[in-house]
């Protein structure tokens, strides 16, 4: 499935769900922490296990920068050497993936964008909440909390999510697993800042 493989090389998941061309300016961390701005930076790793051949079908890793102003979400994805691969921009009206070569795909929301790019539905919009250590406003199952009352694990939208190593902004480690009929998708995020 070439579109699937290409998507994960450029978008890496999540998951879910890159940056303009390598010459485009990278998002900057805010100099002052505005309450309406939520930013995180770190590393991601994504693996797709193909159950039909019983081996890893695709794997990608790199860095990310997440900037959420409530009105707009920008997610930059970078390769392990720091070069920008793609940008995902989400507004209340649309979600757009812009590849490094300038080509882009636009959809109504992040989940529709993933469906458009992959040709199958894999919900990713919950990541906006999970990164903050909260569940998305949808059905949640198997919710577990740690001794401090913080989310430790839960299942939502077909994802088994584990959160740990909290700081003042939320979890610094996120693990997400989606077990489908023919494949298992695993995404790991480690927050550096």
Q: Could you tell me which residue, 114 or 168, shows the higher pLDDT?
A: 168
pLDDT band with cut points at 50, 70 and 90 for residue 118? low
Task: Report the SS3 class of residue 21.
Answer: coil
List the chain domain ranges: 2-191
The two counts, helices (H) then strands (E), for the chain are: 3, 11
pLDDT band with cut points at 50, 70 and 90 for residue 17? very low
- What does residue 114 show for φ and ψ, rounded to 5 degrees? -60, -45
* pLDDT(154) > 90: yes
* pLDDT(123) > 90: no
* Gap between the Cα atoms of 171 and 182, Å rounded: 30
* pLDDT(11) > 90: no
* Gap between the Cα atoms of 9 and 70, Å rounded: 27
Q: Where are the beta strands (DSSP E) in the chain?
A: 38-50, 55-68, 73-78, 84-90, 95-99, 104-107, 141-145, 151-156, 159-167, 170-179, 183-191
* Gap between the Cα atoms of 9 and 57, Å rounded: 12
- 166 forms bridges with which residues in the sheet? 171
Average pLDDT over residues 64-84: 85
* Gap between the Cα atoms of 84 and 157, Å rounded: 29
* pLDDT(64) > 70: yes
Q: What CATH fold (topology level) applies to the domain 2-191?
A: outer membrane lipoprotein receptor (LolB), chain A (2.50.20)
- Whether residue 44 contacts residue 65, with contact meaning beta carbons closer than 8 Å, is answered with no
Structure token pair of residue 76: 């930059």
- Whether residue 91 contacts residue 71, with contact meaning beta carbons closer than 8 Å, is answered with yes
């Amino acid at each position: 499935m070439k579109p699937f493989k290409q998507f994960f090389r450029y978008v890496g998941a999540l998951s879910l769900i890159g940056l303009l061309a390598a010459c485009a300016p990278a998002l900057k961390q805010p100099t002052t922490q505005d309450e309406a701005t939520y930013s995180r930076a770190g590393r991601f790793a994504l693996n797709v296990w193909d159950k039909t051949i019983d081996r890893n079908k695709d794997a990608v890793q790199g860095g990310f920068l997440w900037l959420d102003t409530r009105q707009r979400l920008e997610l930059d994805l970078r390769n392990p050497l720091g070069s920008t691969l793609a940008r995902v921009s989400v507004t209340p009206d649309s979600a757009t993936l812009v590849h490094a070569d300038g080509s882009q795909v636009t959809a109504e929301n992040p989940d529709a964008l993933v469906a458009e790019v992959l040709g199958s539905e894999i919900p990713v919009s919950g990541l906006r909440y999970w990164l903050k250590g909260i569940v998305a406003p949808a059905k949640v199952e198997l919710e577990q909390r740690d001794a401090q009352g913080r989310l430790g694990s839960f299942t939502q939208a077909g994802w088994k999510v584990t959160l740990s190593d909290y700081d003042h902004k939320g979890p610094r480690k996120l693990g997400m697993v989606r077990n489908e009929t023919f494949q298992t998708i695993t995404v790991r995020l480690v927050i550096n800042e």
